[in-house]
Amino acid sequence: MDFRPYGEGLVDGYIKKELFHDVFAGDLPRATAELMWAGQRPADVRTLGEPSGAPAWKTIPSWYLVGRDDKVLPPAAQRFMARRAGARTFEADTSHVAMIAQPGATAALIKRAAG
């Protein structure tokens, strides 16, 4: 991550350009990943330590698409979270950005959830 301070004590994190393709979007063409890198929204690093509210998965049905080639969130961690949520889980050979790299698998999961 590249960390960039702003304001008083605030810090944004960005995925480093030289790692973006391989870590975040390894199954996309490099040109596409470069555009995604240039347009990425920063992550406020405070969010890594702040508790969230009540998890929605405790009260609504959940669906999860595990990206088996995800290098941001390991597939084992994704499977754990999906099991904990009682999610109907599907898997695809895709990076962290399944919705872009594998739109067919993503759309199929949405259709199953809506059906």
pLDDT digit string, tens, across residues 14-67: 999 999 999 999 999 999 999 999 999 888 888 888 888 999 999 999 999 999
- Given pLDDT bands bounded at 50, 70 and 90, which one contains residue 7? confident
Instruction: Name the phi and psi angles at 58, rounded to 5.
Output: -75, -20
Instruction: Name the phi and psi angles at 64, rounded to 5.
Output: -145, 135
Specify the higher pLDDT residue, 77 or 1. Answer: 77
DSSP SS3 for 108: helix
Q: How far is it, in rounded angstroms, from Cα 12 to Cα 115?
A: 39
Question: Nearest Cα to 64, choosing from 28, 92, 33, 101?
Answer: 92
**pTM for the full predicted model:** 0.85
Give the pLDDT confidence score for residue 49 in this predicted structure: 85
Q: Which residues of 22-49 are buried (b: 16+ CB within 10 A; e: fewer)?
A: ebbbbbbeeeebeebbeeeeeeeeeeee
Give the pLDDT confidence score for residue 83 in this predicted structure: 97
Give the pLDDT confidence score for residue 70 in this predicted structure: 97
Give the pLDDT confidence score for residue 89 in this predicted structure: 97
Give the pLDDT confidence score for residue 43 in this predicted structure: 85
Q: What is the mean pLDDT of residues 83-98?
A: 96
